[in-house]
Structure formats: structure tokens, C-alpha cells
Amino acid sequence: FNVNLNDCLLTVFFLSLIGHGNHKEDSPFLNSADAAGKKNDFYDRNLALFEEELDIRPKVSSLLSRLVNYTNITQGAKEHEEEESAEASRRKTPKSPNMGTLMGVYLPCLQNIFGVILFLRLTWIVGMAGIIQSLLIVLMCCSCTMLTAISMSAIATNGVVPAGGAYFMISRSLGPEFGGAVGLCFYLGTTFASAMYILGAIEIFLKYLVPQAAIFHATDSHGSDSAMLNNMRVYGSLCLSLMAVVVFVGVKYVNKLASLFLACVIISIVSIYAGAIKSTTHPPEFPICMLGNRTLVRDRFDVCAKTVTQGNITVPSQLWNRFCLPGNMSTAQCDDYFIQNNVTEIQGIPGLSSGIIRDNMWGNYMQKGEILEKAGLLSVDAHSAMENFIMYVSADIATSFTLLVGIFFPSATGIMAGSNRSGDLRDAQKSIPVGTILAITTTSLVCILTCGD
């Protein structure tokens, strides 16, 4: 009940006035002489009890009710309607999501899965592990991402998927703790993947496209790796700064060119298969210089021969000077392996019809510093104190099956590109599972066929 003690006293006071009949008085004091001095004091001290409490001091229940019903919108029907109409006039009509499975999920996943590892490291993995074990590596990595995509599809089809992508689905299904942990891992993975893609692009640029653009050069035969790392640091920092500017300007401009970038990647992959088919009948000219059965580093000399003819005189070649001390050719002190083995040239890309698939079927794991030797070529095993190891192609790291799995696995990631666009999809429950699984299947087939090529 909202009746308090003051209201009860006021009611009793008025009833007492009515009960006295014609007895009327306009002052609570019997002596009118004292009214002038005590009237104001009476009203200040006593009649203030009859004031409405809600005007000066809200009750506890009223205060709690107002706290529960708190809103930042102006209270009252009229004010509320005016606020809503003003907000609706300021708010623009949001653009309805209209992206389908192909443009919203399938192509973005393809663009993110096809990366630098496919073009730079897959051929090296096949050379180290062989075709059979390379196929096993591809199947293991693609199976892992396929299981992840199936789990993500189960969550996506279990309810409405608004904007938020994988973080929203995981946090609503497993809780915000798991969602936050997965979101942190996803951020770190994207960061390291960006560094990997930048370094891969710089490696292609400096080694194959424009080698003369290198800023740092090796001063000796052992400083080539350090010079390449310094070049990668400089060009990588420039590339990272450029991408940061693009992000601040707006990623939507990059998305407009996404189809063009994907077309370049697809053309590059098609070129791999076209070159493999062409090599069956017309293999490209790509000679490799061999000393016995050891592969030589071609950029350290000009002619793949021990001697060259200048006019009518036979003189030592640069290759001879690399393995022999200066002096007369007949009496010069040379490396025993160089003297007892012949220098020959073989085709680096012999073609599919040459039986190269049969030769590369099994693995050839190497230790760090081990010299690359080609089986089937005759050579005489000889060693001497003058043996020049920097002239041979050797392994820069020790390889194993587990190491190759770790190197290739980032090539199978990137399946979250489609689910992260859930806010732009017309039907996210249908597009995310179909587009992601099709993208994984397509990229897996491309990697398997590339291992055979």
C-alpha cells in the first residue's frame, strides 16, 4: 500500500473538522494574538509533513522501479515517438546482403588457400619426400582442414548466422571464452601468414623477376644468405607499409580487385599444367652443369667445361680456376674429384616422357650441408684437402617427413575467408558449408595434380 503516516494524519484532521459542524477556524492557534508570530513557524515545522514525498524524496520501491526500467530514450509516449521518428530520418536504410555461394564463399576461399607455398615450396617438397610421401602430406593437411570445415558447417546450419563469421559461431556455440581464444589464435595466424606471403613475394621478385633490384650484395661466397635476408627486410618493410596504407584507406577497394587477383593465380596454375603437357613432346631448354654426379652452382662460372678455346689456344675455364691453383694446366694442383670426373650438362626439366616420375617416386631426405647427387650418373669417389664445397648444390637444412608437413600445412589454411563474410551473404546457412567444402576439394585436387607434375 502507498499510504503513509502523513496521509493518515491528514485524513484524521479533516474528519475532525467535519465532525465539529459549524466550528470553523483558519488557524490552528486558539489565540489569534499569537498567530502572527507562530503561524510561519508552524507551517515550516509541521505542515511540511503534509507535502507530497514523491516530489522531494522518492521512495525506495519507486527508485528501484525506475532503475529497472531505465532507458536512454526519452520517456513518455509523445517524446518516444518523436525520438524514433528523428532517429529513423537520420538512419540510412542498410544495404541488404546479396552475395551468393560463388562470389561470397567459394572464390574468396580459393584466393586465400592458393598461396606462395604452392608455387615455391611444393616442388621442393616433392623433390625431398618423393611423389608418394608428398601425396600423403597433401592428404593429411587437406583432411585436417576438411574436418574443420565440416565442424564449422554443422555450427552454421544449426541456427541463424549473422555478421561476425567464425568468431560469432564459436562464441555462441561454445561460449565467449572459447570464442575469444580462437579469435586470438586466428589473429596471430593471419599475422604470421601475412609475413610469410610478403617474404615469398620478395623472394620471387629478387630471385626470378628482377635480380638486379637487390640492394645488398654478398662480399664473399658465404654471405649470400645474409644479403638476401637484408634485402627481404628492406623490401618487406616497404610492402608492409603499403598494405597498411591500403587497410587505412579501405579494404573495399581491394575487394573490388579480388577477382582480378584470383584470375592471375588461376592463370599461373593453368600454366603449370600447360607446361607439363608441353614438356612431354618439347621439353624446355634448362641445362644443369654436373661434375660427376654432383650438381654445380651455375652462377659461379660461365662455361660448363674444364677448358675453353680462345682462337687456337686451349686455356683453363673459370670452372678450372675454381678447383685448381693457378699455374700450368699440366702441372697444376687440382681437386682430385675434379680431375677424375667429367663435366657434363643434363636437362633440368626432362619432361614427363623421360621417366622422371618413376625416378622421383621415393624420398631423398638430406642432412644440412649434404651435397646433392643425381642417381644414375657415373662418378669416381675421390676426396682431397682442396675440395671446394661451395661449388656444389647442397642442402641448407635437414629435412624429414614431419618438417615437410609443417612447411606445407599453411598452404591448406584460409578456409575462414568465406565464413568471415557471413554478414554479406544472402543465405549464410547454405553458402558457408557448400562454398567452403567445394573450395577445399578444388584446392586439394590441384595440389595432388601438382605433385604428379
114 and 256 share one domain: yes
pLDDT reported for residue 223? 64
Domains in the chain: how many in total? Answer: 3
Task: Kindly report, residue by residue over 134-146, the tens digit of the pLDDT.
Answer: 999 999 999 998 9
pLDDT in tens, 58-78: 555 565 555 445 444 444 455
Asked if residue 357 belongs to a domain, the reply is no
Residue for grid cell 498567530:
35
Mean predicted confidence (pLDDT) in 325-347: 83
- Find the mean pLDDT for residues 427-431: 77
**Looking at the structure, do residues 408 and 272 belong to the same domain, yes or no?**
yes
With respect to residue 442, please indicate whether it lies within any of the assigned structural domains: yes
Question: Considering the chain, what percentage of its residues have pLDDT values greater than 90?
Answer: 8
Q: Looking at the domain assignment, is residue 356 inside a domain?
A: no
How much is the average pLDDT of 98-112?
79
Most confident of 76-90, 157-171, 172-186: 172-186
273 and 298 housed in the same domain:
no
* 302 and 441 belong to one structural domain: no
State which of 90, 121, 139 marks the end of a domain.
Answer: 90
Q: Which long-range contacts (CB under 8 A, 24 or more apart) does 198-204 make?
A: 198/236, 198/239, 198/240, 199/232, 199/236, 200/115, 200/116, 200/117, 200/119, 200/120, 201/116, 201/239, 202/231, 202/232, 202/235, 202/236, 202/239, 203/120, 203/228, 203/232, 204/116, 204/119, 204/120
Pair 66, 187 in one domain: no
pLDDT exceeds cutoff 90 at 87: no
In this structure, are 130 and 66 located in the same domain? no
Is 214 part of a structural domain of the chain? Answer: yes
- Are 162 and 121 part of one and the same domain? yes
Do 412 and 337 fall into the same domain? Answer: no
Per-residue pLDDT reduced to its tens digit, 277-331: 888 888 888 889 998 888 998 888 888 988 888 878 888 888 888 888 887 777 7
Q: Do 64 and 21 fall within a single domain? A: yes
Percent of the chain residues past pLDDT 70, beyond the cut: 73
The larger pLDDT score, comparing residue 163 to residue 280, is at 280
* pLDDT at position 103: 77
Of 90, 121, 142, the residue at which a domain comes to its end is 90
Same structural domain for residues 108 and 72? Answer: no
268 belongs to a structural domain: yes
User: Bridge-partner residues for 313, per DSSP?
Assistant: 310
99 strand-pairing partners: 425
Q: Among 86-100, 294-308, 432-446, whose mean pLDDT is lowest?
A: 86-100
Average confidence (pLDDT) over 162-181: 72
Note whether 250 and 195 are same-domain residues.
yes
Q: Which has more pLDDT, 199 or 310?
A: 199
The mean pLDDT value for 388-401 works out to 85
142 and 51 in one domain? no
Give pLDDT, residue 213. Answer: 87
359 is a domain residue? no
82 falls within a domain = yes
Its domain, for residue 40, covers: 5-90
* Average confidence score pLDDT of the chain: 76
pTM over 0.75: no
Q: Which three cell numbers stand for residue 284?
A: 624446355
For residue 33, give the C-alpha cell: 494574538
Residue 228 lies in a domain: yes
**399 against 22, higher pLDDT:** 399
